Structure 1
Amino acid sequence: MTTTIFLVRHAAHDNVGSFLAGRTPGIRLGVEGRAQAERLGQRMGRERFDAVIASPRERTQETASAVALAYGLTVRTDERLDEIDFGDAWSGKTWDALNCDPAWVQWNEQRGTARTAGGESMSEVQARAVAALSDAASLRADGAVVLVTHADIIKAVVCHVLDLPLGHVHRFDISPASITPIVWGDWGARLLWLNETIA
């Protein structure tokens, strides 16, 4: 039995790319992001799925709601799909400020071994994300499910599926409102395609 899992990154919030949002509360989709999420929902309406599960962050919940409308589904929340715990020392900081922090530089240069200011390692992120996928697959055997989460969470899962070292997460992009589907089964997992973007 296999399950198709559509990994979806949340749509863009107003200041995406200008600072590290992390788990900072209250970061929601703006006008452009809501329109992007609506287009994503229309695109996902061409797929078959019977569950939508999302990270608890506001931006993922809003994106997931737009996708769930395609089939009139209710969004479920899974804490294991949450953004990386960057801690208060990094969350909300601009990239310029972060690039002056040696610990931040080390985190990006040594993703396979370093820990964030919040104390989470990339391997721990990968373990919780993979567990969430495994549980979603077991609930939807021979079906399909949409998981709405964050870029680094999707990157960690892709590294797991392709057996790539976690230090290679910088070698591919996961864009806002993008779709990365995976087939998950008892035999393992297979990446169908990577980072389909919604204009």
Structure 2
Amino acid sequence: MTTTFFLVRHAAHDNLGSFLAGRMSGIGLGPAGQEQAARVGQRLVREKIDDVYTSPQERTRQTATAITEACRLDPPQINNALDEVDFGTWTGRSFVDLNRDVQWQRWNALRGLARAPGGEHMLDVQHRVVALIESLAGNRRGRRIVLVSHGDVIKAAVTYVLCSPLDAWARLDVAPGSVTVLIVGDWGAKIAALNEVVS
């Protein structure tokens, strides 16, 4: 018996791409993001979802709520294993500024070795999200589960399943509001779909 996971990146917030939001408070979805989240919810209706878990960040909780409302499910369950990467002192800095930072350049070239200053190592991120997936797959066999998280967290899970190094993150696209499907069974795990962008 398999467990199917729908890894959903939160819908886009208004300033996506301009600064590193990380775990900053007050980063919610604007009207466009709310519409995108509603489309993701409608897309998942046909999947007969059983449970929805979400990162504690506001933008993910809003996206997850749109999914539970569309699928007529109980409110999403918050799980810290799905939280955004702790970017430490980089949190809130503009990408223009970060791109001049040697430590940021090293982080993007060597995700498997580098650590965000004052924050997390990507191996820690990968460990927490994979541990959650393994736990849910063991305890909720046969269920269809949505995990609403963040781009780098989803990439960490995907690279693990593909037996790829974390440094391969840049070869994967995980767009805002996208759906990636992961199936786990006694035989192992596989990626059934990657970065389905809901239009």
Could you say which residue in structure 2 is the equivalent of 1:21? 21
Is 2:50–2:73's contact at 8 Å kept on the other side of the alignment? no
The equivalent residue for 1:66 is 66
> Given that residues 8 and 177 in structure 1 are in contact (C-alpha distance below 8 angstroms), is that contact kept between their aligned partners in structure 2?
yes
SS of the residue 2:196 aligns to: coil
Give aligned-pair identity as a percent. 50
Letter aligned with residue 61 of structure 2: Q
Deviations 1:153-194, CA, capped at 9 Å, x for gaps: 000000001000110000011000000010012321110010
Aligned equivalents of 2:124 and 2:56: distance in 1? 18
Structure 1 window deviating more from structure 2 (151-160 vs 135-144): it is 135-144
Deviation for aligned residue 1:99: 0.9
Task: Confirm or deny: 8 A CA contact 1:178 1:198 kept in the other structure.
Answer: yes
Note the residue ranges of structure 1 that are not aligned, 5 or more in a row: none
Separation in structure 1 between the aligned mates of residue 150 and residue 118 of structure 2, nearest angstrom: 17
Matched, 1:80 2:77: no
**Residue 117 (structure 1) shift:** 1.5
Q: Please give the alpha-carbon distance, in whole angstroms, between the structure 1 residues aligned to 2:74 and 2:139.
A: 15
> Which residue in the other structure is 1:93 paired with?
93
Tell me the TM-score normalised to structure 2 length: 0.97
- Secondary structure, aligned partner of 2:5: strand
Aligned counterpart, 2:171: 171
- C-alpha deviations, 1:84-109, integer Å up to 9, x for none? 0001x211111110011111111111
164-173 vs 129-138, which moves further: 129-138
Residue matched to 2:120: 120
For each residue in 1:117-173, what CA deviation from the matched residue of structure 2 results, as whole angstroms up to 9, or x when unmatched?
233111111000101111222232111100000000000000001000110000011
Kept in 2: contact 1:65–1:75 (CA 8 A)? yes
Q: Does the CA-based 8 Å contact 2:51-2:73 persist in structure 1? A: no
Is 1:162 matched up with 2:162?
A: yes
Give the counterpart letter for 2:82 in structure 1.
L
1:76 maps to a residue whose letter is Q
SS across alignment from 2:183: strand
Moved over 6 A (4+): none
CA deviation after TM superposition for structure 1 residue 3, in Å: 0.1
Structure 2: which 5+ runs fail to align? none
Query: 2:3 aligns to what?
Result: 3
Query: RMSD across aligned C-alpha pairs, in angstroms?
Result: 0.9
2:181 corresponding residue in structure 1: 181
C-alpha separation in 2, matches of 1:121 and 1:72: 34
Distance across 1 between alignment mates of 2:120 and 2:128: 11
Partner of 2:49: 49
Q: Is the 8 A contact 1:50 1:73 kept in 2?
A: no
Provide the aligned length of Structure 1 versus Structure 2.
198
In structure 2, how many angstroms separate the alpha carbons of the residues matched to 1:131 and 1:34? 30
Aligned partners of 1:112 and 1:123 also within 8 Å = yes
